[in-house]
Amino acid sequence: MNLHDCAFVCTDGNSVLSMKQSIQNQAGHPSGLIGKLFGWTMNVFNRTDNRWTIELLKLQPSDKLLEVGFGTGQAIEYAATKSKQGLIAGVDHSETMLATAAKRNTAAIAAGRVQLQLGEVEALPFADSFFDKACSINCIYFWEPPERGFAELRRVLKPGGTLAIVARHKQLDAHRQYTPEVIGALMKEAGFTEVVAQEGPGSRFPVFCVTGLA
C-alpha cells in the first residue's frame, strides 16, 4: 500500500478527507509515534530516490553537501560514504526526524563528518557560499514560501555549486503544483543557471529532478 492508497481506506467522505489531511500533515512535519511510523514508510518509498539523487550530484571526497528536509537521514548516510573528507549537513524542522536521522548516523556525527540540526529552508543557519552542493528530496511541497527557500539555497552555495531538487509526479494533492516547469522557473528566478530537468529511475511512484548552478 502506498501513501496515496492509504488516503482511501475509509468509506465515509469526511473520514477520507480527514485521513488525507493527516497524511499530508505528517509528510510535512512528522511527529510522535505516527511520525516515526511515517518515517519507516519514507525509508521504503524514498530509498531509490535518495540513492539516485546522491549519485546525480557526483560527490567528491572533500565536498560539503547540504540536504534540506533529511527525514530519516537515509540520503545523508549514503552521501557520507561518498564524501569522507568533507561534510554532509542537514536541516529538518521535525524533532522526530532529527532524532531518527541522528541515530542512523551516530558514527559519522561523532567523527565530525555529518552535522544535523533543526532548521527551516527559509532561514538556513549557514554562512554564505559554504556548500559545494545541496539537495532536497520530496520536500519542496512544504516550503513556505518556495521563493525564499531557493534564495537561501543559492546564498549558501558556492558560485557554480549544484542544487538538485527532487519531487514526485502528482501522487498527492500537495505534489500537483510542483511540476518540473514550475520548479525550474523558481530556480531561474532565484538566479540559478543551466537549469535542467530529468526523469528519475523507473518505478511505480515516479520522480523527477531539476538541477541548476548557483
| Average pLDDT estimate for 164-173 | 78
pTM for this predicted structure: 0.80
203/139 Cα distance (integer angstroms):
19
Show the DSSP H helices in the chain as ranges.
3-6, 13-28, 32-57, 74-80, 95-104, 106-110, 146-156, 180-189
Q: Tens of pLDDT along 27-38?
A: 444 444 444 455
β-strand 64-68 against 157-168: which pairing, if any? Answer: unpaired
| Average pLDDT estimate for 106-132 | 97
β-strand 131-137 against 207-213: which pairing, if any? Answer: unpaired
pLDDT band, residue 40 (cuts 50/70/90):
low
Q: Tens of pLDDT along 180-193?
A: 999 999 999 999 99
pLDDT band, residue 39 (cuts 50/70/90):
low
Q: Tens of pLDDT along 122-132?
A: 999 999 999 99
pLDDT number for residue 41? 62
Q: Tens of pLDDT along 4-23?
A: 333 323 334 443 333 334 44
Q: What is 16-29 written as a DSSP string? A: HHHHHHHHHHHHHS
Q: Show the domains of the chain with their CATH numbers.
A: 47-213 (3.40.50.150)
pLDDT number for residue 111? 97
Q: Cell digits for 175?
A: 505534489
Q: What percent of the chain has pLDDT over 70?
A: 76
